[in-house]
């Protein structure tokens, strides 16, 4: 074969191989375009689903803020977000223009239907609120139906994202396989063309095509597995590899942002769940101690980065007492004056920061860097204070949690007000309105409790009657009689102190129960009451009421009998004291008492017959 023939054949083969190689490169470039289109469609689908979900959340938040605060700006923001959401829903229903499949289009339409259902609930809530029914509005916005639809929307977004990821991964894998196959063919053909071209093309293919594609393939695989920690190197090249790198970098950034949003959403749902649990338990509290325990238990779970304290105002509203605290390195002050806190002075939430030029509450510690004080108010009355201190270095954390903290304070205020109201009503039922002592109903309940328990411990009863009480009413009027009883009740309380409990039995009669007190000690206490009453001066409207004396009867159980007869035995001793001269103390063991006594008693008089 001639050299020219060989040359021509070599030339022809070279031209053919070069043409085929060029064709292979063109097809390879086409697969890169397919990858880019798949990624762009994937990003468009994911962005659309995220915008729908975020828009629904923003619309819900604005509706809730408007219902809770009544600020018109939140209603305007709600309408603006709602209009934007309608545009996104229309875009979702025509997502085939973005390259969505029938399955993806069906999921997008389902998401739009769920968002419409949420919108219907929110619009109904705003209607109720506009009509003045804020309770129904809040129940709709924070109710189970709204929560179920919101959860359903989140699940559908996740499912849609998963479907899009699967499809995109498949398209990228298919394009990658085609790209690698065509690249291999091109390299083989170029290798057969010439050694010189082989060296040049090997360098180009290896350095400019194969290596970046291999690196991007590993990155894409890790991103497909939702491993967004992988680093995507930025390449300034303006070819398809550079565009692919930029697209993957955007995909990774979107994935990181989506993970951050998912984490925030999960945290928000957890906060809402704990918040509802705490509210349900606050509604079931029966004492302030129970309320304090619940607040101290749940608040650190909701806000682990915040230390806090709950203060309750006393009845005179001149001191705030610490009811509970959590997560403090050093215990907060047990009490302080309302003027020590600027939030109580202003009647609104007050932020304390060392970087702020505003005044700082004096009840806070010197090392406090960031603190938030929230007043507890109910029915235009300040009943307490919630204070929080930031444990982390991020000052913005306490500001971000402020709306939830104020919601907690509002619910605690209502619970504390209800408990205080119930305590006042209970106290009014259990105590005598004139003297402030426990009434006969309370006495009967206590004696009933003692009777049901084992009667092994000593219990002494003093029955006391103001002598000749009718004289004060007849000579000075019933107001003077009331003054005598009030003054004597004060003497009785001061004298008995913590040794026992004082009761107003009825009319001018009083009862004292002394647990674990012997008859001798009870007699000494009774004499002290009688002597102090006799030596005290009673006056009404500037007029002296004359000397006041009392007669006292004493009985003890179990020595003298059972608890069920204790008051009767003390009453018999009292009757004996009044029948034998008054202004004296008589024990049930005295000879005059141990005689058989027959008596009938009414509320106004006593008829005695001693035999």
Residue-wise pLDDT for 79-101, tens only, equals 888 888 888 778 777 777 777 77
**C-alpha to C-alpha distance for 565 and 340, rounded to whole angstroms:** 55
pLDDT of 178 reads 75
Other Cβ atoms closer than 10 A to 279: 18
Retrieve residue 513's tokens: 């129960």
Q: Catalytic: which of 53, 119, 389, 508?
A: 508
609 pLDDT tier (thresholds 50, 70, 90):
very low
Q: Which residue has the higher pLDDT, 458 or 330?
A: 458
Q: Which residue has the higher pLDDT, 256 or 323?
A: 323
Q: How far is residue 124 from each of residues 70, 117, 133, 438, 521, measured CA to CA in Å?
A: 16, 11, 11, 52, 72
Question: What spatial distance separates the first Cα and last Cα of the chain, rounded to whole Å?
Answer: 163
DSSP E strand boundaries for 477-523 = 501-506, 509-515
**C-alpha to C-alpha distance for 229 and 223, rounded to whole angstroms:** 9
523 pLDDT tier (thresholds 50, 70, 90):
very high
pLDDT of 527 reads 94
Other Cβ atoms closer than 10 A to 182: 19
**C-alpha to C-alpha distance for 524 and 514, rounded to whole angstroms:** 12
**C-alpha to C-alpha distance for 258 and 347, rounded to whole angstroms:** 40
**C-alpha to C-alpha distance for 189 and 18, rounded to whole angstroms:** 7
Share of the chain above pLDDT 90, in %: 12
324: CB partners within 8 A, 6+ apart? 292, 293, 295, 296, 309, 310
Residue-wise pLDDT for 304-362, tens only, equals 888 888 998 887 788 888 988 888 877 888 888 988 888 888 888 888 776 666 678 88
* Whether residue 124 has pLDDT greater than 50: yes
Residue-wise pLDDT for 545-600, tens only, equals 778 999 999 999 888 888 888 999 999 999 999 988 899 999 988 876 655 343 43
Active-site annotation holds for 508: yes
Please report, for the chain, how many H helices and E strands are present, in that order.
18, 15
503 pLDDT tier (thresholds 50, 70, 90):
very high
- Average pLDDT estimate for 410-429: 80
Which residue ranges form the domains of the chain, and what is each CATH number? Answer: 3-193 (1.20.120.1730), 304-427 (3.30.450.40), 440-610 (3.30.70.270)
Residue-wise pLDDT for 328-343, tens only, equals 877 888 888 988 888 8
Residue-wise pLDDT for 463-486, tens only, equals 999 998 888 888 888 888 888 889
> Omega of the bond prior to 604 within 30 degrees of 0, cis?
no
Residue-wise pLDDT for 283-302, tens only, equals 888 888 888 898 888 888 88
Which of the 8 DSSP states describes residue 386? E
Mean pLDDT over all residues of the chain?
A: 79
Other Cβ atoms closer than 10 A to 494: 10
Q: Which residue has the higher pLDDT, 228 or 335?
A: 335
Which of the 8 DSSP states describes residue 207? I
pLDDT of 237 reads 66
530 pLDDT tier (thresholds 50, 70, 90):
very high
- DSSP H or E segment with residue 353: strand 350-353
Phi, psi dihedrals of residue 261, rounded to the nearest 5°: -65, -40
pLDDT of 201 reads 47
Q: How far is residue 4 from each of residues 9, 79, 195, 196, measured CA to CA in Å?
A: 8, 83, 20, 21
Residue-wise pLDDT for 144-164, tens only, equals 888 888 888 888 888 878 887
- The helix, strand and coil proportions of the chain, stated in percent and rounded to the nearest 5, come to 65, 15, 20
């Amino acid at each position: 074969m001639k050299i020219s023939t060989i040359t021509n054949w070599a030339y022809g083969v070279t031209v053919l191989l070069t043409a085929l190689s060029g064709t292979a490169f063109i097809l390879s470039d086409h697969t890169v375009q397919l990858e880019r289109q798949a990624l762009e469609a994937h990003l468009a689908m994911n962005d659309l689903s995220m915008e729908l979900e975020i828009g629904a959340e923003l619309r819900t938040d604005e509706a809730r803020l408007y219902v809770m605060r009544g600020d018109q700006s939140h209603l305007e923001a709600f309408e603006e977000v709602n209009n934007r959401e309608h545009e996104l829903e229309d875009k979702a229903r025509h997502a085939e223009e973005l390259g969505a499949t029938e399955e993806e289009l069906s999921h997008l339409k389902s998401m739009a239907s769920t968002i419409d259902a949420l919108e219907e609930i929110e619009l109904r809530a705003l209607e109720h609120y506009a009509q003045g029914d804020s309770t129904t509005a809040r129940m709709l916005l924070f109710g189970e139906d709204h929560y179920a639809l919101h959860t359903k929307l989140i699940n559908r977004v996740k499912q849609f994202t998963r479907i899009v990821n699967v499809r995109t991964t498949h398209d990228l894998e298919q394009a990658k396989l085609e790209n690698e196959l065509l690249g291999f063919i091109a390299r083989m053909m170029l290798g057969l063309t010439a050694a010189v071209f082989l060296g040049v093309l090997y360098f180009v293919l290896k350095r400019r095509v194969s290596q970046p594609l291999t690196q991007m393939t590993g990155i894409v695989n890790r991103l497909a597995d939702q491993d967004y920690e992988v680093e995507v190197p930025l390449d300034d090249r303006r070819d398809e590899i550079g565009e692919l790198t930029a697209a993957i970098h955007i995909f990774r950034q979107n994935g990181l942002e989506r993970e951050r949003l998912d984490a925030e959403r999960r945290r928000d749902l957890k906060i809402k769940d704990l918040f509802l649990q705490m509210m349900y338990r606050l509604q079931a509290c029966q004492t302030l101690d129970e309320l304090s325990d619940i607040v101290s238990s749940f608040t650190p779970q909701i806000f682990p980065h915040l230390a806090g304290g709950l203060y309750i105002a006393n009845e005179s509203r001149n001191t705030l007492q610490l009811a509970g605290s959590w997560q403090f390195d050093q215990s907060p002050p047990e009490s302080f004056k309302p003027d020590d806190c600027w939030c109580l002075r202003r009647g609104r939430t007050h932020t304390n920061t060392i970087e702020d030029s505003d005044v700082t509450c004096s009840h806070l510690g010197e090392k406090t860097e960031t603190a938030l004080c929230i007043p507890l108010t109910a029915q235009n009355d300040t009943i307490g204070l919630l204070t929080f201190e930031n444990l982390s270095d991020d000052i913005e954390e306490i500001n971000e949690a402020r709306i939830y903290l104020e919601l907690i304070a509002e619910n605690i205020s209502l619970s504390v007000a209800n408990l205080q109201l119930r305590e006042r009503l209970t106290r009014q039922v259990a105590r005598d309105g004139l003297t402030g002592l426990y009434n006969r109903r309370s006495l009967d309940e206590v004696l009933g409790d003692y009777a049901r328990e084992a009667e092994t411990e000593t219990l002494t009863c003093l029955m006391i009657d103001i002598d000749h009480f009718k004289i004060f009413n007849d000579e000075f009027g019933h107001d003077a009689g009331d003054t005598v009883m009030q003054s004597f009740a004060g003497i009785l309380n001061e004298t008995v102190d913590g040794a026992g409990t004082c009761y107003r039995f009825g009319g001018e009669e009083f009862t004292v129960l002394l647990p674990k007190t012997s008859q001798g000690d009870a007699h000494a206490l009774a004499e002290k009451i009688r002597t102090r009453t006799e030596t005290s001066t009673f006056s009404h409207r500037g007029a002296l009421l004359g000397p006041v004396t009392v007669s006292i009867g004493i009985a003890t159980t179990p020595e003298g009998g059972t608890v069920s007869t204790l008051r009767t035995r003390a009453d018999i001793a009292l009757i004996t004291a009044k029948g034998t001269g008054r202004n004296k103390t008589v024990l049930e063991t005295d000879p005059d008492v141990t005689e058989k006594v027959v008596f009938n008693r009414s509320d106004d008089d006593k008829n005695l017959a001693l035999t």
